[in-house]
Amino acid sequence: MFYTPTLAASWAVKYICKVKQLCTEKLLSTAWLTGTYYSIKGTYQSLEAQQYKTPWARYVWKRFTLPRHRFTTWLALLDRLRTKNRLFKYGIGDNNLCAICGGAPETSAPLFFDCSYSKECLNIALDWLEFRMRRISALHVFQWFRTYCKNSFKQKIGYATIAGTLYQVWKARNSVVWDHFVPTAASLMESLKFDVKHRILEIHSKKISADNRSWLISL
């Protein structure tokens, strides 16, 4: 069915043949190859439709959330951050323990927010927003805001704050690894509060209701 390139074929030819086979396997059809009309857009949309929809994407890609916070949160929820546990599997590093507390293997799950340090950061963030909850995973915290926070403005700020907290914890972790310095949770959260408030006032200032503006300024 598919052309098999010779050993002497260039890497480009080999790669094109490989992609053709992968696309056909993914689409479960050769119609995209044999049809009289080919559309790049149509093929892309067909391939995209096969992808698994991540239910947590709604929490990450929000305008209130700073881009760098979104990116780190996206990697954390995918469990794709270069944690010590992940690197240790490839023979990198002396151990796989959490760089901050050393109490468990460093993976996204305990780092956000089971680790005592990250839990302290989360509690400071929640106290700042005047919310109370008992959750130990980042995803559960996001889900709590979606379920129980009915004010959409406060909900979006909640998403932005939790994403920012993940970013600050990861930043602190990197500080420990590279600079051998552990910043205090309080100092991290002060930086986060400044970022969140000024981000929202910058992009959404004229559209905030009086009540929501008063609440935001009081934080």
Give pLDDT tens digits for 105-157. 999 988 999 889 999 999 999 999 999 888 779 999 999 999 999 999 999 99
* 4 domain residue, yes or no: no
* 3 domain residue, yes or no: no
- Give, in order, the Cα–Cα distances in Å from 41 to each of 20, 141, 179, 184: 16, 37, 47, 49
Q: Are 107 and 176 members of one domain?
A: yes
Check residues 28 and 59 and name the one with the higher pLDDT: 59
Q: Give φ, ψ of 174 to 5 degrees.
A: -65, -35
Q: Are 207 and 107 members of one domain?
A: yes
Q: Are 113 and 173 members of one domain?
A: yes
pLDDT at position 51: 63
Q: Are 20 and 101 members of one domain?
A: no
Q: Are 21 and 93 members of one domain?
A: no
Q: Are 37 and 118 members of one domain?
A: no
Confidence of residue 28 (pLDDT cuts 50, 70, 90): confident
Domain extent for 27: 11-49
Query: Do residues 168 and 121 touch, judged by C-beta distance below 8 A?
Result: yes
pLDDT at position 187: 96
* 45 domain residue, yes or no: yes
- Give, in order, the Cα–Cα distances in Å from 122 to each of 28, 111, 118, 127, 150: 45, 11, 6, 9, 21
CA atoms within 13 A on the CB side of 3: 12
pLDDT at position 7: 86
Quick: pLDDT tens for 80-97.
999 999 999 989 989 999
Quick: pLDDT tens for 165-212.
999 999 999 999 999 999 999 999 999 999 999 999 888 777 888 898
pLDDT at residue 79 is higher than 80: yes
Q: How many domains does the chain have?
A: 2
pLDDT at residue 9 is higher than 80: yes
- Give, in order, the Cα–Cα distances in Å from 121 to each of 166, 168, 180, 183, 190: 9, 9, 19, 11, 10
pLDDT at residue 160 is higher than 70: yes
pLDDT at position 151: 94
pLDDT at position 50: 59
3-class secondary structure, 68: helix
